[in-house]
Structure 1
Amino acid sequence: MGRVSIPDIHEKYKNSEPVTMLTAYDAPIARQVDEGGVDMILVGDSAGDNHLGYDDTVPVTLDEALSNTAAVDRAVEDAMVIGDMPFLSYGTSLEESVKNAGRFMKEAGADAVKLETAPYGKTTIEIVSRLTELGMPVVGHIGLTPQRMNQIGGGYVQGRGDGSSATVEALVETAEELEDAGAFSIILEAVTEETGKQVTEAVDVPTIGIGAGRCVNGQVLVITDVLGLSDESYTLSKQYADLNSVIQGAVESYVDDVQSEVFPSSKNVFDAIDEDQ
């Protein structure tokens, strides 16, 4: 049958069926996410603070992102796999940007790549245009762009037009330019609901929100937030399980079993000694 394709995504969009996306960073979780039925898996640079132990996304290297993407690719059968290009893996030059994007597809098995775009980000829009011209599908990403946190000074909601928040008009126009450049879908992160509505009405490609409200064409969340593996909770997210408690309980039970010599039992060894002899 093959993985979800761009025509499949656009068919859902034309039929007003919401598109589903989650992040994943390794094979075991990716397998579960895929079997759960999501349309798209984003191997996000959010791995930085949700998988690799960094404070944020900026330190994630290209090699780390490629390794994560390849692990997900090996586990996924149905969902579209999108490799997220990390900070400074694109934008330094057009040639380097194309080369690095190509590695996600040639080496890591990604079906598409994602790039963050600042308001009116001409450099990134040019890269999107070149990638799509060369046959590399691109997902755009506007609104709150974590790779620019040091520049904007924090996780400010976008679309308010005050201080470190871009205007609705700037985000709408940037989305339109991304569509013109060939992006087949656009992620909107941490924007006002009115921004999500206006961007969605302005473009003819699916918009996928994370904290973008109810007027977009699909949703994406970070898998550690969904599973309850995060240390923090966020307004834009929803926790569907509490794996922190499950895992901690399992580890504590294991420690108790080893300390009380319940584990290993005769069932867990090879050629067990007959204790009656």
Structure 2
Amino acid sequence: MSVNKEIKRVTTHTLLKLKQEGTPISMLTAYDYSFARLIDEAGIDAILVGDSASNVMAGHETTLPITLDQMIYHAASVIRGVSKALVVVDLPFGSYQGNTKEALASAIRIMKETGAHAVKIEGGAEIAESIKRIVDAGIPVMGHLGLTPQSIYKFGTYSVRAKEEAEANKLKSDAKLLEEIGCFAVVLEKIPATLAAEVSKSLLIPTIGIGAGNQCDGQVLVMHDMLGLNNTFKPRFLRQYLDLHDQVVGAVGKYVSDVKARSFPSESEQY
């Protein structure tokens, strides 16, 4: 009799255990069924359905234009391709800043309509009440500190955050606050590696870094960037594992020339 080996799902508890064991957590973004299935099959621990879909899927300059409905569409598509990874979904700009009631309603819609496992919210003390209300409703929340792209017009730049002492101290207190009010993890984006290491050591919950050095408890990258689909974005923190831009353009170019030359389809490729 054949026994189906049950696939063990990654949970928020799994991530906590990985931190306790000193095993780094791997995380990538995904926005559709096909890539989510491939990333999950490769053994990723967690998938972020990021509001970066606004940039890489829709072509917007910032993450601000993407709506809650659009995030729900992307997240539901990702969930259908995943059998193991923990799936976290960004609450988009405008879906939680108004008040705690709106924040909870947005988080509930994501959980109910997508089947996702957690939400992610940008900010610290300013949005603590919203995070607390969502956590109290039984919805896992991942925090996000440092460079918070939804606040890009406030910052005016995508440069490294928390280099000055005052901002670094606020980030440290915000990280502690997020842990206290129940976040299961926190993303640290584009901050000095020494500060990220200090914060990671000070917290019981895992930190996931992007441009925050290798002492965070895990790392996250935008899938399109690390696969080289986007060949114009090359910050220092990005390691490009493939050059899909040139490969895809080359493959499509070959298809075009084969069609023009009537060498596709060949005899063996027709009925």
In the superposition, the TM-score normalised over structure 1's length comes to 0.92
| 1:2 shift after superposition | 4.3
Pick aligned residue for 2:55 from 32, 49, 57? 49
Match of 2:167?
167
Q: For residues 67-87 of structure 1, what are the alpha-carbon distances to aligned partners after superposition, in whole Å with 9 as ceiling and x for unaligned?
A: 110110000111001111110
| 1:197 shift after superposition | 1.5
Q: Structure 2 CA distance, aligned partners of 1:227 and 1:215? A: 23
| 1:161 shift after superposition | 1.6
Aligned to 2:236, the other structure's residue is in SS state: coil
Pick aligned residue for 2:43 from 37, 48, 64? 37
Q: Structure 1 CA distance, aligned partners of 2:234 and 2:161? A: 19
Q: For residues 29-66 of structure 1, what are the alpha-carbon distances to aligned partners after superposition, in whole Å with 9 as ceiling and x for unaligned?
A: 11111111110000000111111111110111111111
Q: Structure 2 CA distance, aligned partners of 1:176 and 1:211? A: 20
- Could you tell me which amino acid in structure 1 is paired with residue 71 of structure 2? A
- Does 1:257 find its partner at 2:258? yes
Aligned to 1:107, the other structure's residue is in SS state: helix
Q: Structure 1 CA distance, aligned partners of 2:79 and 2:9? A: 11
State the superposition RMSD in angstroms.
Answer: 1.2
Aligned to 2:198, the other structure's residue is in SS state: helix
Q: For residues 219-264 of structure 1, what are the alpha-carbon distances to aligned partners after superposition, in whole Å with 9 as ceiling and x for unaligned?
A: 1011011100112211111100000011011101110111000112
Match of 1:5?
11
Aligned to 1:25, the other structure's residue is in SS state: coil
In the superposition, the TM-score normalised over structure 2's length comes to 0.94
1:68-79 matches, cutoff 5 A:
68-79=74-85
Match of 1:83?
89
Aligned to 2:121, the other structure's residue is in SS state: strand
Structure 1: tracts of 5 or more residues without a match: 271-277
Q: For residues 142-197 of structure 1, what are the alpha-carbon distances to aligned partners after superposition, in whole Å with 9 as ceiling and x for unaligned?
A: 000000000111112112128xxx62111000001101110000000000112101
- Does 1:146 find its partner at 2:149? yes
Q: Structure 2 CA distance, aligned partners of 1:267 and 1:84? A: 47
Q: Structure 2 CA distance, aligned partners of 1:215 and 1:240? A: 21
| 1:198 shift after superposition | 1.8
- Could you tell me which amino acid in structure 1 is paired with residue 263 of structure 2? V
Q: Structure 1 CA distance, aligned partners of 2:60 and 2:96? A: 20
Match of 1:204?
204
Percent of paired sites with the same residue? 40
